[in-house]
Amino acid sequence: MSELTGRIAIVTGASRGIGRAIAERLGASGATVVCVARGENAAVTAAAISAAGGTAEAHGVDVTDPAGVEALVSGVLERHGRIDILVSNAGIARDQLMLRMKRADWDEVIATNLTASFTWCQAVLKPMIRQRAGRIVAISSVVGQMGNAGQANYAASKAGLIGFCKALAREVASRNVTVNVVAPGLIATDMTRAITDNAKADWSGQIPMGRMGAPEDIAAAVRFLASDEASYITGQVLAVNGGMYM
């Protein structure tokens, strides 16, 4: 029996990149994985988990739509009777220097990266508290810890997530629900594909390990925080960044 056998996990932003790697890792560890992205996008991840011998389902939900989130959570509870793990990973960047940043770019990033985590956590908390067990892991960013020019909206959303999770961790610790944050550094995904080679070289110069990370590096940290091995860890920020920010 694998360590997460019998656990029900929801992973948002599971269609590609870090979220897909997390979903596959949890699936390989025995969890039933509810893969969430917009439209049909998460189907490919659920199919990969099933092909590898795991159990998964795919759902099209826009994380900025509270009614869609609540309906998804109700459906999971009806089908499986419990929710053990929430990984709030879906995120976007709309980069621009502050003087040129449009209000819409601020609003969209805060809604997707921060407010959606509020919606998801509120939706899963009642069942987790009732179960007297739960694991919440939110995906922040090194940028939320150290800032980055051109990412005021993104940095605010990711720093906000850290404060949000620490507050929530204090509220629910006595119910055996842990709330932790993983803060990735520069990871090779669609989100970072647009960065020019020159800029990547600049960034890599700031990374003591001298290279970008892989989605699987983040997935391993999330798997740990979601497991029984991490049962006495809550309110923490686990940086997975090659030493970029210490």
Active-site residue numbers? Answer: 154
Q: How far apart are the first and last CA of the chain?
A: 37
Region binding ligand NAP by CB under 6 A among candidate stretches 17-25, 77-85, 117-125, 166-174: 17-25
For tokens 């090194």, what's the residue? 142
* Nearest to ligand NAP of 17, 242 (CB atom): 17
The reply on whether position 89 binds ligand NAP by CB under 6 A is yes
* Nearest to ligand NAP of 15, 234 (CB atom): 15
In the list 187, 219, 222, 238, the residue contacting ligand NAP (rule: CB under 6 A) is: 187
Give dist(CA 86, CA 68) in Å, integer: 16
Kindly state the smallest distance separating residue 62's Cβ from ligand NAP, in Å.
Answer: 4
In the list 16, 94, 166, 175, the residue contacting ligand NAP (rule: CB under 6 A) is: 16
Spell out where 119-232 has E strands.
134-139, 177-184
Residue type, 217: D
* Nearest to ligand NAP of 133, 223 (CB atom): 223
The reply on whether position 41 binds ligand NAP by CB under 6 A is yes
The reply on whether position 191 binds ligand NAP by CB under 6 A is yes
The torsion angles phi and psi of 98, rounded to 5 degrees, stand at -55, -40
* Nearest to ligand NAP of 133, 141 (CB atom): 141
Give dist(CA 246, CA 6) in Å, integer: 36
Q: Residue 183, CB half-sphere, CA atoms under 13 Å: how many?
A: 27
Provide the 10 A C-beta neighbour count for residue 184: 25
The reply on whether position 189 binds ligand NAP by CB under 6 A is yes
Kindly state the smallest distance separating residue 75's Cβ from ligand NAP, in Å.
Answer: 16
* Nearest to ligand NAP of 159, 187 (CB atom): 187
Kindly state the smallest distance separating residue 243's Cβ from ligand NAP, in Å.
Answer: 15
The reply on whether position 204 binds ligand NAP by CB under 6 A is no
CA distances from 128 to 9, 42, 75, 116, 228 (A): 12, 24, 15, 18, 15
The reply on whether position 229 binds ligand NAP by CB under 6 A is no
Cα of 246 vs its chain's centroid, Å: 21
Q: CB–CB of 18/89 below 8 Å? A: yes
**Interface positions with ligand NAP (CB under 6 A):** 12-19, 37-38, 41, 62-64, 89-92, 112, 139, 141, 184, 186-187, 189-192
